[in-house]
Amino acid sequence: MNAFQVGFQGESGSYSEASARIQYPDPNYSFIPFRSFRELFEGVENSTVDLAVVPIENSTEGSVNETYDLLVEKPLYVIGEIYQKIHHCLIIDKNSSPDGISIVYSHPQALAQCRKYIQKKHLESIPMYDTAGSVKFIKETHNASAAAIASKHSAQIYDMKVVEEDIEDNSNNFTRFLIISKIYDSNADDNKISIIFSIPHTPGSLYSILQEFALRNINLTKIESRPTKNIPWEYYFFVDLEGNVNDDKISTSLLSVKTATIFFKLLGSYKKAEIR
């Protein structure tokens, strides 16, 4: 029997992989790395993997925009969420000296989350496709003047040296991940819903949508806008709300919203995750 496969973006040791392994500790699961978010989404779409774990937002640096854009584009669903506390480390080659470090590599989100530390150390930031990928890059290039910002686990995987731990600017640093699938099936214990919609570019159109939720006493936990990219200054709105899609109040409200929008997509319903 083939192992159940879970995809993630980045290299072994990335935060996405760590979240996936925590969520799916079954030894029969295998974890498959993809270099880019697009390749990862296409892997789910083409059934190369069964599920994928993707970052959607960070508590200090905000949204991962490419994830939002791909959720619009691809016929995939959100079936769960994960919150992970993020602790960054400064990592160098075992043969390097901390005093000789002048540049630091990492994913743009990680660099932003450690901005004050990087400035204090007078390091030049160079963005990479992944946190663990930056550790692997330094390992392979033997760059004595370079460091990476990544997890402690990634340093262990690539046999590298941790110079300093917990270098993130905010100690209360969390990333929210979504679990995406090609198959969607609502469950009785689902208590959170994600939707995407776009609205007419007319006065009061967004207000009428928000009023629909307010009048039915439905709590919105997040609202985010992204450009549609097709028409200048028009936007998609990503909304998370509490409830179950099978509740009459929720289903009636979503139907009313769908009727009032130009584009509407139910991303999925799932059980709200606890912040660990």
SS (H, E, C) 215-259: HCCCCEEEEEEEECCCCCCCEEEEEEEECCCCCHHHHHHHHHHHH
Answer yes or no: are the C-beta atoms of 218 and 250 closer than 8 Å.
Answer: yes
Nearest alpha-carbon partner for 66 in 33, 105, 38: 38
CA dist 194 and 252 (Å) reads 16
CA of 171: how far to CAs of 59, 113, 151, in Å? 11, 10, 14
Angle 53-170-14 from CA coordinates, rounded to 5° = 30
Place of tokens 């999925």: 268
Helix (H, G, I), strand (E, B) or coil at 147: strand
Alpha-carbon dihedral angle through residues 245, 250, 251, 253, given to the nearest 10 degrees = -140
- From 37, 137, 177, 197, active-site residue: 177
CB contact burial 176-200 (16+ within 10 A = b; e otherwise): bbbbbbbebeeeeebebbbbbbbbe
Dig out the tokens for 189 from the structure.
């214990």
48 is catalytic: no
Asked about 177 being catalytic, the answer comes back as yes
Out of 67, 131, 175, 261, pick the active-site residue. Answer: 175
* Tokens coding 112: 């932003």
Spatial CA neighbour of 220 closest among 199, 241, 237: 241
Q: What are the residue numbers of the active site?
A: 175, 177
